[in-house]
Amino acid sequence: MSGSRHAIAAPSFLYAIISLLASVDFARAHEHGDELTEAEKNLPTDNILWIHMFLQAAVWGVLFPIGMVLGITRSRWHVPLQSAGIALTAGGYILGHAHKGRMFLASAHGAFASILFVPIVAQLVLGVYLKLHIHEQSIRPWAVRLHGVVGKAYPILAWTQMLFGAIAYRGYCRGDDLGQCLAHYIMGSGFIAYGVIMAIMLLVGEAWVRRSRRSPEWWDSWVIMLWGIVNTFTEHRGTSWSVKDMQHTILGVLWWAGGLLGIFLARNNKRNVVPSIILILTGWAMSEHAQHLMISTKVHAIFGYTLMLAGVTRIMEVCFFSAPTKSFADGVGGDDDNNSDHTLAEPSPRYPPPSRYVQPEISVDSGGAAAAKAFRHLPAFLLVASGVLFMSATDEELQFVHDNEMDHVTYILIMFSIAFLLYVLIVFVIHLYATTGRNAPAKEDGDNIAMTIPRKWYSRVPREERAMHVIGEDGELEDE
């Protein structure tokens, strides 16, 4: 968005936290000051700094998320991979403070680098403690939980630090530009997170959704409503109302009003299209948002169209690819509604598909199942792409692109390329969850797992059937 006003404002507490980080000046091994000369800022980036950036991006963006998943699945590769990641992180930190050439102003990136030592050391200490297998009945269960919580926070911490790094490298988000910068990066990250969660639900999350006894739209609607309430009261500052103030504030009202309707319609585990409609309306509003630069107008328009398409494809997914034939409010499904043909990942022994014990089985190659598996990647990918586009549409970034005479087509295609790469990483990590460690298919069952899938994606698991979902030490089904 243009100007100091920002669309879809970041919540006030996030604004305060990041503003505080941006103002903290930590002691550094190389010279980062509050003021730099033009000569210092324009010095070339040396090889040491390039190695630091690529190494830390590879470790935090790829290695640690993979290690996290391997930890969740209890894979034997979890400890070696995370140990290597910690060692490489230490090396990257040293390189980041040993480079020559270009200097940088004090930034949130440097402050957060120091903060990251807390979860790193915590994971290391907890990991060593758990390997000792002591205090089995007292402290160890709590240590296991804490280890899991900290480990699952790594992708969020990594994403935040990599964003801070990119911002520090370009010198963005300072002074009057901080507000719109926060809005784009926080909201864009929110769309990407939405896409990641949707992909998880479609790939490996069916069992969790069914056990929660809540439809996916129930969760969506709560987040939308709460975020809308925050935006309603943080968009307008001062006494006069600008056109942008009115647009942004009414978007907040739209979200909490629509979210409230979505929550009501989602009662008794029913699915609805309200979150999709909110995505479509938000995308339309952003596509019509006037900007100072023509390239900014074009990028915002494509972002809006992409978000609208995400909403349309989600409606199609809800209405045509996964709607149950009967409500499950009473715990009784329609014709064989405990089956699902829309789970995208191959089922794992940990959560065996009903098709292992409920007949009839259908082939993965059936037309409806194949179409569903292909189609249901669309809303998740489009949410990721819209998030990338929104994050790329800050005033400073687009001014830089405009000054370098890059056209909007090239720039937008670059952003979609990044979205494709990001989605590859997302589905690869989810695939690892379904196929490694305790979720790895047994050799004798591998072919059977690949050949059978359920027929309807979303339905509650009746109480009497949930006892059948426990796997014994020998890998066989057994009663609870």
% of the chain surpassing 90 pLDDT: 46
Q: pLDDT value at position 142?
A: 94
* Amino acid 97: pLDDT: 80
Provide the 10 A C-beta neighbour count for residue 264. Answer: 13
| Range with lowest mean pLDDT among 31-35, 141-145, 355-359 | 355-359
| Calculated CA dihedral for residues 353, 356, 358, 359, nearest 10 degrees | 120
**Digit-coded pLDDT (tens) for 101-139:** 777 778 889 889 889 999 999 999 999 999 898 998 999
For range 47-68, the mean pLDDT: 93
Mean pLDDT of 207-217: 85
- Which band of pLDDT confidence, cut at 50, 70 and 90, is reported for residue 144? very high
- Pick the more confident residue, 127 or 40: 127
- Cα(309)–Cα(431) distance, integer angstroms: 25
Q: What is the mean pLDDT of residues 152-179?
A: 90
Give the confidence band of 441 by pLDDT, cuts at 50, 70, 90.
confident
Tokens of 181: 């910068």
Residue 477 pairs in a beta bridge with 471
44 pLDDT exceeds 70? yes
What are the φ/ψ torsions at residue 477 (nearest 5 degrees)? Answer: -70, 140
What's the mean pLDDT when you consider all of the chain? 78
The torsion angles phi and psi of 21, rounded to 5 degrees, stand at -60, -40
Kindly report the number of other CB atoms within 10 A of residue 39's CB atom.
8
Q: Does the N-terminal peptide bond of residue 360 adopt cis geometry, omega within 30 degrees of 0?
A: yes
Q: What angle do CA 396, 415, 374 make, to 5 degrees?
A: 150
Closest CA to 182 of 308, 4, 53, 301: 4
Q: What is the model's pLDDT at position 40?
A: 60
The domain limits of the chain are 27-105+108-170, 174-480
Q: For 230-251, what is the mean pLDDT? A: 78
**3-state percent breakdown (helix, strand, coil) of the chain, nearest 5:** 65, 5, 30
Q: Helix (H, G, I), strand (E, B), or coil: what is residue 43?
A: coil
In this predicted model, what pLDDT tens digit does every residue of 462-479 receive, in sequence order? Answer: 444 444 444 444 444 444
- For residues 56 and 96, is the Cβ–Cβ distance under 8 A? yes
| H/E stretch holding 33 | strand 32-33
Within its chain, how far is the Cα of 113 from the centroid?
A: 21
Contact (Cβ atoms closer than 8 angstroms) between residue 448 and residue 475 = no
Q: Is the pLDDT of residue 196 over 90?
A: yes
Mean pLDDT calculated for residue range 323-344: 39
Which of 115-124, 169-178, 388-397 is the least confident region? 169-178
Whole-angstrom Cα distance, residue 30 to residue 16? 27
pLDDT at 42: 67
Q: What pTM does this model have?
A: 0.78
In which band, very low, low, confident or very high, does the pLDDT at 269 lie, cut at 50, 70 and 90? confident
What's the pLDDT at 374? 79
Q: Tell me what the mean pLDDT of segment 154-181 comes to.
A: 89
Strands (E), 60-110: 104-105
